[in-house]
Amino acid sequence: MTVRRHVTYGGMVQGVGFRYTVTRLARARPVTGFVRNLADGRVELVAEGAEGQVLGLLADVAERLGGHIHGAQVVEEPATGEFGDFGIMF
């Protein structure tokens, strides 16, 4: 079953290579979506794929970047299939 998670991370998540690290982690898994900086200093991540892969990605992000994250809001949304791969959105 394909799922979608929309996550907003707060903390010291800009200017520390957060987007590039997330992209590397995501490309190691069969997930699609994007990561981008938000104007208010947070980072937004949208990921679609098999539930285990998406949850695994979020766990990887927490493990690798948890020292920079001070709050994450995770929203479950219906998968749309709109992404062909995972990348940084500018």
pLDDT tens for residues 32-69?
999 999 999 999 999 999 999 999 999 999 999 999 99
Write down the pTM of the prediction: 0.97
What are the residues whose beta carbons fall under 8 Å from the beta carbon of 6, sequence distance 6 or more? 44, 45, 46, 74, 75, 77
Rounded to whole angstroms, how far apart are CA atoms 70 and 80? 29
Pairing of the two strands 32-37 and 86-88: parallel
Neighbours of 38 (CB within 10 A): 13
Domains and CATH numbers, the chain: 2-78 (3.30.70.100)
Per-residue pLDDT tens digits for 9-23: 999 999 999 999 999
DSSP 25: H
Instruction: Enumerate the active-site residues.
Output: 19, 37
